[in-house]
Amino acid sequence: MWKKLRRHEMDVADVKQARDQPSRGGIMGAVGPAGQAAARLAPRLGHPVYDCLYLALAGSHSASFATADERLRAGAERVGVRYLAES
């Protein structure tokens, strides 16, 4: 879905419908709250759902996360997920 959204083959409303209605072909509803949170973050941050799943899990556990991806780190700051900085 993320790729289709980036290629303008789907819009955010289509993604939300697929996410919220797994019985109609959606897949994110089957993976629980973290998957649903990741599906909401992906279009907002312009990152694939698998990256956003990492953020969603860190956020839901009030945990810090680490990444070498500067765009993902900046996205985490935008949504309030703490980044584990080097000591």
Query: Count of domains in the chain?
Result: 1
Per-residue pLDDT at 8:
86
Check residue 25 and give its pLDDT.
47
- Residue 74's pLDDT band, with cuts at 50, 70 and 90, is very high
pLDDT at 14: 81
Better-scored residue on pLDDT, 30 or 31: 31
- Across all residues in the chain, what is the average pLDDT? 81
In whole angstroms, what is the distance from residue 29 CA to residue 67 CA? 26
Let me know if residue 87 belongs to a domain: no
- Please indicate, yes or no, if residue 12 is contained in any of the structural domains: yes
Domain that holds residue 35: 2-79
DSSP 82: P
Residues 49 and 28: beta-carbon distance below 8 Å: yes
